[in-house]
Structure formats: structure tokens, C-alpha cells
Amino acid sequence: MAAPARSSAPRSPRYPIGTIVQSKNPVTSKLEISVRDELTKAGIRVHKGRSAIQCDFEPRRGNYPVITPDILLSGTKVCVEVDTSYTHGEKFEEDFIRNGLLEGAGWTVIRLRLGGLPQVGDHDILAEADGLSKAALEALLAAIDDAVNGRPGSARHIEKGPARERTKPISPLGSIARHKYVENAYYASWTTGSNVERFVIMAGGRYLAANRLDGSYGHGCRVPNFLTNLDLQDIPRTKWRPVVHAVIEDLTDYEPVSVFPWGDELFIGDEADKIIPMQKFNLGGTSDHTTANFTAPEGFNAFQVIGDGGKVLAELHPEAAAAGWKFLDVQGAKGYRGPYQHVFLTRD
């Protein structure tokens, strides 16, 4: 005769039913931590860390589960579960069974049900809002008082409060964020109705720039062109917004005035036009390079290229020099069209 099949279910729980043990489930949420903190502020002692409760036999799974409630109240047999519609929207049956197991182990379960979840137990707080409101917290404290003192539970319904009226108008100035491609520059946008104007704060706050309305670039310069001065380069960026807001608000035309704050020319002098325009020159950058076709250059200094007899062939515009720019090197080279020069600039 064959021996009877042996059951795989454990014959007894690991611990006496209702025993509190160290939880093996460390997972928690910011909302649970927030509820725990609010209870502590209200003078309610809670278990530190995560604790679990040994429960009786669960026929569906055929075991004696050790369940970890979200919060256990010290010195009582009351626990709090924090349920959101996002995490418990499809878990009504699971929550109902969990309640039964905990109650069977001698514990009272209070559920803070957020986001319009249905009632599971007698002590539930049923809040329409997704977050922990003041009214929901007050209801939770009242439910805890009932449970701790052995009073019958009653579900508490918390309606979603009216949306608070915005006391501060939305600013048309968007966030000021570092530019991805232009060194020492920042994005800024201005929204009026459905229209969005896009600007760039250049040279670490020195001036406001924009692309030309027709999409072109002044004098071959492919960075946003000068619109108006800001003079914020010596002011912390956290204090820029009021100034930028006021400046843009006063603008009547968004068309750039010139390439640079002083005009369109980076170089001046008799042979300034023999320097190939720097398409991506950025006043707030740290270096740049171009080429030129000077007539017999003999040398250079920080701000000038010198020709035969000490003649100044070209020089940096004084405003560019004042911004820290200077010649780093002028190197002769030969091409298929004849000799030319590499011109290197740097900024202190």
C-alpha cells in the first residue's frame, strides 16, 4: 500500500502567532516615512525600523506568513498601512486577506487609503486626495486614538479640498539654464500667450542676445547677436531673474541690434577686413582661431598685428580687449593660393 502524500505546508509557524520579529523586508516609501514622521511629531511612539508580525495559517498559499505592516505603534497592538491608488489600485483582495491575517494575530489594522481607494477595514481613512493632507492626518490620529483605546472603528471619509488659488502670477520668464553649446551662456525664454521668444544670456550675464528674426547671422557670426545690455557678469546667477525679467519686459523689438555690444566689428585697422570672420566667436568664450591674409606681417603684441616699419595692420576692438581678449599667436603658413596666417585669440 502506497504511503500517503506528504504535505509541503509547514506544520507550525516559526514563531508564536502575534510575535513581533525583525522584518526581512526593508522596502519603504517617502510617503510612509512622511506619515511616520508626522505621527512622531504628534507624540505617538512608533517602532524604529521595519518590524514584522507572525500570522496564522493562510490557506490560499499554504503557509504561515510573517507580515510587515508599514508602521507599528509601540506599546500597542495597532499597526498602520499606507495605501495609494498607484500601489494598491488592484490589490483590494490582497489587502482584505492581509487585514484578516493581522487581526487573527491580535492586531488592529488602520489603513490610510489615498486617492479614492475603497474601504477595506473598519478603521480606514478614505481620502480622495493622493497626498497626505492635514485633514487626512487628523483623521488618522483620531482613528489611532479609537484603536488604542479599544473603541469600535468607523471609516472616516476625507473629501478633496478645493484647489488653492494661485496667489502669485505665473512669470512669463522661463527658467535660466546653462546653454548646451555656447560657452558661458544661458538659455532664457519669454512666453506671452501662445508665443514663445527665445533668448541667450551671453558672456556670463553681460548682455542679452537672440537670433535674427530672418534666421540670418550678422557678419557671418553664427552665435546669437546682441540685443541689449544686462551687466550681470559680476552678480551671482541666483539674483539674475528680476533684472532679466525687467529688461525683457521693457523690450519693444526682439531683433538684434548688432553682433557685439559695441557693434559688428571684432577687429579694426587698415587690414581688419583681411581677417576671415570668426563664425562662432563668443565674447564669453576662452579661445578662438581664424585665418588672415595680411600684407607682410612682422609680428604682433597682445592687441595688435604689426606690419613693415611698425605699421599696425589690425587690432582688436578696444571693447573686446577690455573683455579680456588678446592675440595669443600669429603664425605664417602657405596654401595653394599663397601665404596666409593663422590667428589665435585667447581670453584672460
Q: Which of 113, 129, 158 is the last residue of a domain?
A: 158
Provide the domain count of the chain: 3
- Binning pLDDT at 50, 70 and 90, where does residue 82 land? very high
Q: Using pLDDT thresholds of 50, 70 and 90, give the confidence band for residue 5.
A: very low
Q: Are residues 235 and 342 in the same domain?
A: no
Count CB atoms within 10 A of the CB of residue 125.
25
Same domain, 183 and 134: no
Amino acid identity of residue 5, one-letter, is A
The last residue of a domain, from among 124, 158, 192: 158
* pLDDT tens-digit series, residues 210-247: 986 544 444 444 688 999 999 999 999 999 999 999 99
Give the mean model confidence (pLDDT) for residues 50-58: 94
Report yes or no on 217 lying in a domain: yes
Is 276 in the same domain as 224?
A: no
Q: 31 pLDDT band (50/70/90 cuts)?
A: very high
Cα gap 82→24, rounded to integer Å: 19
On whether both 127 and 207 belong to a single domain, the answer is no
pLDDT at 313 over 50: yes
Residue 149 and residue 204: Cα distance in Å, rounded?
A: 64
Residue 261 has pLDDT above 80, yes or no: yes
Contacting residues for 163 by C-beta, under 8 A, at least 6 apart: none
**Cell numbers of 299, please?**
609680428
C-alpha cell at 115: 486617492
Of 35, 33, 28, 27, the residue nearest 127 (C-alpha)? 35
**What is the identity of the amino acid at 78?**
V
* Same domain? 101 vs 185: no
Residue 38 counted as domain residue:
yes
Q: Is residue 241 part of a domain?
A: yes
On whether both 209 and 335 belong to a single domain, the answer is no
10 pLDDT band, cuts 50/70/90, is low
Look at residue 74 in the predicted model and tell me its pLDDT.
94
pLDDT band at 7 (very low <50, low <70, confident <90, very high): very low
C-alpha cell at 84: 495609494
**What is the DSSP annotation of 225-277?**
EEEEE---TTS-GGG-HHHHHHHHHH-S--S--BSBTTBS-SEESTTGGGBPP
Contact 299, 312 (CB under 8 A): no
Do 184 and 63 share a structural domain? no
One domain for residues 154 and 25 = yes
* pTM, full prediction: 0.52
Q: In this predicted model, what pLDDT tens digit does every residue of 279-301 receive, in sequence order?
A: 789 999 999 999 999 999 999 99
What is d(CA 182, CA 184) in angstroms, rounded to the nearest whole number? 7
235 Cβ contact partners less than 8 Å away, ≥ 6 residues apart: 205, 243
Lowest-confidence pick of 186-190, 320-324, 335-339: 335-339
Q: Quick one: pLDDT band at residue 1, thresholds 50, 70, 90?
A: very low
Q: Which among 179, 183, 173 has a CA at the least distance from the CA of 240?
A: 173
Note whether residue 117 is domain-resident.
Answer: yes
Q: Which of 128, 158, 188 is the last residue of a domain?
A: 158
pLDDT at 163: 64
CATH code of 147's domain: 3.40.960
Q: 252 to each of 103, 198, 207, how far by Cα in Å?
A: 71, 15, 17
Give domain status of residue 140, yes or no.
yes
How remote is the C-alpha of 298 from its chain's centroid? 54
Residue type, 151: R
Of the two residues 34 and 11, the one the predictor is more confident about is 34
**148 and 273 inside one domain:** no
The 10 Å CB-count burial string (b at 16+, else e) for 289-298 is ebebbbeebe
Instruction: Write the pLDDT tens digit of every residue in 181-218.
Output: 889 999 999 998 888 999 999 999 999 999 865 444 44
pLDDT digits (tens, 9 = 90+) for 59-81: 988 999 999 999 999 999 999 99
pLDDT more than 70, % of the chain: 92
Same domain, 144 and 272: no
pLDDT in tens, 138-174: 999 999 999 999 999 899 999 987 766 666 678 899 9
For the chain, the distance separating the N- and C-terminal CA atoms, rounded to the nearest angstrom, is 98
Contact 17, 56 (CB under 8 A): yes
pLDDT of residue 51: 93
Q: Which domain holds residue 37?
A: 20-158
Residue 81 inside a domain? The answer is: yes
**Residue 187 sits in the same domain as residue 87:** no
Measured distance CA(300)–CA(171) in Å, rounded: 50
Considering only CA atoms, which of 108, 102, 97, 106 is closest in space to residue 151?
108
Q: If you average pLDDT over every residue of the chain, what do you get?
A: 90
